[in-house]
Structure 1
Amino acid sequence: MDARIKSLLVRGDGLVTRRDLLRAAPAWTIQTARRANQLVRLLPGVYGDAVLIRHATTDLPMLARVEWDVARRAALAYAGGRGALSRLTALDVWGLRRQPPGEPLYLDLLRGSGLRDRPHLVVAHRSAFAIAPPQVVARGGLQVVRLDRTLVDCWALLAPVDRSSLLIRTVNDRLTTPQRLAAALTEVPRMPDRGALGDLLDRLAAGCRSPLEIWGHDHVFTGPGMPTFTRQARVRVGARTFYLDMFAEAERVNIELDGATSHGDPAEREIDLRRDALLASIGILVVRFTHRRLTADPVQVRRETVAILANRARPAP
Structure 2
Amino acid sequence: MNAELNELLRRHDGLLTWDLAVQVVPEWTLRRERGAGRLLRVLPGVYVDSRLTRPAVAPAPGAPFAVLPPQLRHRAAVAYAQGRGALGGPTALHTWGVRRQPDDEPVHLDVPARSGLRSRPPHLVLHHRHGFRPEPPQAVTRRGLPVVRLERALVDAWPLLPAVDRPAPLVRAVNDGLTTPARVGEALAEAPRLARRAELRVLLDRLSAGCRSPLEVWGHDHVFTGAQMPRLRRQFRVRIEGRTRYLDVYAERERVDFELDGATAHGDPRQREIDLRRDALLATRGILVVRFAHRRLVREPDRVRAEVLAILASRRAE
Fold-level similarity (TM above 0.5): yes
Aligned match of 1:165: 168
Native 8 Å contact 2:159 2:194 kept in 1: yes
Native 8 Å contact 2:111 2:133 kept in 1: no
Q: Secondary structure at the match of 2:225?
A: coil
Q: CA 1:151 to 1:80, structure 2 compared with 1: closer, same or farther past 3 Å?
A: same
Native 8 Å contact 2:93 2:169 kept in 1: no
Q: CA 1:110 to 1:241, structure 2 compared with 1: closer, same or farther past 3 Å?
A: same
Native 8 Å contact 2:138 2:148 kept in 1: yes
* Separation of aligned partners in 2, 1:301 and 1:40: 58
Aligned match of 2:225: 222
* Separation of aligned partners in 1, 2:72 and 2:270: 47
Deviation at 1:193, TM superposition (A): 2.0
Deviation at 1:103, TM superposition (A): 2.9
Aligned match of 1:233: 236
Amino acid of the structure 2 residue aligned with 1:217: H
Amino acid of the structure 1 residue aligned with 2:306: R
Native 8 Å contact 2:181 2:204 kept in 1: yes
**Structure 1 residue runs without a partner (length 5+):** none
Amino acid of the structure 2 residue aligned with 1:104: P
- Which moved further from structure 2: 139-148 or 161-170? 161-170
- Which moved further from structure 2: 235-244 or 173-182? 173-182
Amino acid of the structure 1 residue aligned with 2:157: C
Amino acid of the structure 2 residue aligned with 1:33: L
Amino acid of the structure 2 residue aligned with 1:108: D
Counterparts in 2 of 1:188-207, with a 5 A limit? 188-207=191-210
* Separation of aligned partners in 1, 2:307 and 2:285: 23
Deviation at 1:123, TM superposition (A): 0.8
Deviation at 1:175, TM superposition (A): 3.5
* Separation of aligned partners in 2, 1:292 and 1:19: 58
CA deviations 1:25-63 (Å, max 9, x no partner) are: 6xxx21443145365543333344455566664513344
CA deviations 1:137-177 (Å, max 9, x no partner) are: 22221112222322222222222122223433333333433
CA deviations 1:163-216 (Å, max 9, x no partner) are: 223433333333433223222222222233222222122212211223332222
Deviation at 1:114, TM superposition (A): 1.4
* Separation of aligned partners in 2, 1:247 and 1:292: 21
- Root-mean-square deviation (CA, aligned residues, Å) is 3.0
Aligned match of 2:180: 177
- Which moved further from structure 2: 135-144 or 277-286? 277-286
Aligned match of 2:156: 153
Q: Secondary structure at the match of 2:226?
A: coil
Q: Secondary structure at the match of 1:115?
A: coil
Counterparts in 2 of 1:264-283, with a 5 A limit? 264-265=267-268, 268-283=271-286
Pairs aligned (count): 312
Q: CA 1:68 to 1:245, structure 2 compared with 1: closer, same or farther past 3 Å?
A: closer
* Separation of aligned partners in 2, 1:215 and 1:306: 17
Q: CA 1:80 to 1:229, structure 2 compared with 1: closer, same or farther past 3 Å?
A: same
1:127 paired with 2:124, answer no
Larger Rg: 1
Q: CA 1:56 to 1:241, structure 2 compared with 1: closer, same or farther past 3 Å?
A: closer
Amino acid of the structure 2 residue aligned with 1:161: V
Q: CA 1:3 to 1:205, structure 2 compared with 1: closer, same or farther past 3 Å?
A: same
Aligned match of 1:59: 61
Q: CA 1:47 to 1:237, structure 2 compared with 1: closer, same or farther past 3 Å?
A: closer
Q: Secondary structure at the match of 1:156?
A: helix
Aligned match of 2:80: 78
* Separation of aligned partners in 2, 1:19 and 1:76: 15
- Which moved further from structure 2: 283-292 or 16-25? 16-25
Amino acid of the structure 2 residue aligned with 1:305: V
Native 8 Å contact 2:258 2:290 kept in 1: yes
Aligned match of 2:104: 102
* Separation of aligned partners in 2, 1:250 and 1:90: 44
Q: Secondary structure at the match of 2:312?
A: helix
- Correspondent of 1:208 among 207, 211, 222: 211
- Correspondent of 2:31 among 19, 28, 34: 34
Q: CA 1:60 to 1:281, structure 2 compared with 1: closer, same or farther past 3 Å?
A: same
Native 8 Å contact 1:86 1:145 kept in 2: yes
Q: CA 1:32 to 1:293, structure 2 compared with 1: closer, same or farther past 3 Å?
A: closer
Amino acid of the structure 1 residue aligned with 2:14: G
**Structure 2 residue runs without a partner (length 5+):** none
Native 8 Å contact 1:108 1:126 kept in 2: yes
User: In percent, how many aligned pairs have the same letter?
Assistant: 57
Amino acid of the structure 1 residue aligned with 2:214: P
TM-score by length of 2: 0.83
1:46 paired with 2:46, answer yes
* Separation of aligned partners in 1, 2:288 and 2:3: 77
Q: CA 1:80 to 1:247, structure 2 compared with 1: closer, same or farther past 3 Å?
A: same
* Separation of aligned partners in 2, 1:238 and 1:276: 13
Q: Secondary structure at the match of 1:226?
A: coil
